[in-house]
Amino acid sequence: MTIIDGKKISEDIQNEIAIEVETIAEQGGKIPHLAAILVGTDGASETYVGSKVKTCEKVGFRSTLVRLPDNTSEQELLAEIAKLNNNDDVDGYIIQLPLPKHINEHRILEAVDPKKDVDGFHPQNVGRMALNLPTYLPATPYGIMQLLERYNIETSGKHCVVIGRSNIVGSPMSILMARNSDQGNCTVTLTHSRTKNLKEYTLKADIVIVALGKPEFLTADMVKDGVVVIDVGITRMPSDKTKSGFKLFGDVKYDEVAAKASYITPVPGGVGPMTIASLLMNTLKASKKEIYS
């Protein structure tokens, strides 16, 4: 059984990008510039954005953080988006989610210029992904595809079961794994909260991608020997065994499933660290105008 080390792969990607940025700088090219909009003062969102900005600096990117107060109106946010759309110096930007409840998330995400949509959430980019055209892939699914590729995990002709159909993980994952491309070419079953007899599907799966947000949901009796397991779930639970008083749980009952698996991602240290690597890869693509010229 091989433990898929997402932390290492993410660091490898960051180092590769840092080297490329150094070369760009030496040749007098444009240094990639990522901007982020943060509305409000939600603690978790502040941490996520802070770590994205810090990693940008680590690889040599430029970064800009636009902070807006909780009571920012939709119109005011749209005005900030228009500014970033028109700012030629900014290659790509993200809007940290969730947004305050009085703001319509879909309207906001559709206002982002698809050329700068490095989160890959704009409907145009989602459509391009479905059509197997060059695009910005959403961060978590892109990270998972990188893990499969870098561990040389065969996907062609395999049966992949995805658990969960969210717009940010399960649904794009099912599209990517089914596409006619090097990583993909699976027969995909997309399962969700209305799926009956889930175990019937997971027991037949060569690859299971679990993204539902229920700690230790996937158990050993639900998978076959040799299965590849990608655990996307992250749930913070109180614990008296850690200093912080919390422990992170994935959606997989790790020890017992690992004993049957050929490859498995741990939580933490599996899929989680890949999200930032994907964002950096997308920003570099935006800066080099690889997707849209």
Identify whether the C-beta of residue 9 lies closer than 8 Å to the C-beta of residue 17: no
Mapped onto helix, strand or coil, the DSSP state of residue 229 is strand
Residue 217 one-letter amino acid: F
- Asked if 260 is an active-site residue, the reply is no
Question: From residue 74 to residue 103, what is the string marking binding to ligand NAD with x (rule CB under 6 A)?
Answer: ------------------------------
Going by their DSSP bridges, the two strands 235-238 and 159-163 should be labelled as: unpaired
Query: Which position among 92, 138, 170, 266 is part of the footprint of ligand NAD (CB under 6 A)?
Result: 170
Tell which positions 221-280 bind ligand NAD, by CB under 6 A: 232-235, 271-272, 275
The angle formed by the CA atoms of residues 251, 256 and 257, to the nearest 5 degrees, is 55
Query: Which position among 21, 77, 163, 252 is part of the footprint of ligand NAD (CB under 6 A)?
Result: 163
Residue 88 one-letter amino acid: D
Catalytic pick among 5, 117, 119, 206: 119
Catalytic pick among 5, 14, 91, 96: 96
d(CA 95, CA 117): 9
- Of 60, 43, 39, 45, the closest CA to residue 104 belongs to 39
Q: Which is nearer to ligand NAD, 84 or 168 (CB)?
A: 168
Partnered with residue 163 across adjacent β-strands are 191, 210
Least distance to ligand NAD from the beta carbon of 232, Å? 4
Least distance to ligand NAD from the beta carbon of 171, Å? 8
Tell which positions 122-161 bind ligand NAD, by CB under 6 A: 140
- Asked if 183 is an active-site residue, the reply is no
Query: Which position among 160, 168, 207, 264 is part of the footprint of ligand NAD (CB under 6 A)?
Result: 168
Least distance to ligand NAD from the beta carbon of 170, Å? 5
Identify whether the C-beta of residue 55 lies closer than 8 Å to the C-beta of residue 280: yes
The angle formed by the CA atoms of residues 158, 164 and 169, to the nearest 5 degrees, is 85
- Asked if 119 is an active-site residue, the reply is yes
Tell which positions 173-212 bind ligand NAD, by CB under 6 A: 191-193, 195, 198, 211-212
How many angstroms from the chain centroid is the CA of residue 95? 14
Q: Examine residue 166 and tell whether it contacts ligand NAD (CB under 6 A).
A: yes
Least distance to ligand NAD from the beta carbon of 194, Å? 7
Give me the sheet containing 33-39, strands edge to edge: 62-68, 33-39, 92-95
Catalytic residues: 52, 96, 119
* Residues forming the site for ligand NAD (CB under 6 A): 140, 163-166, 168-170, 191-193, 195, 198, 211-213, 232-235, 271-272, 275
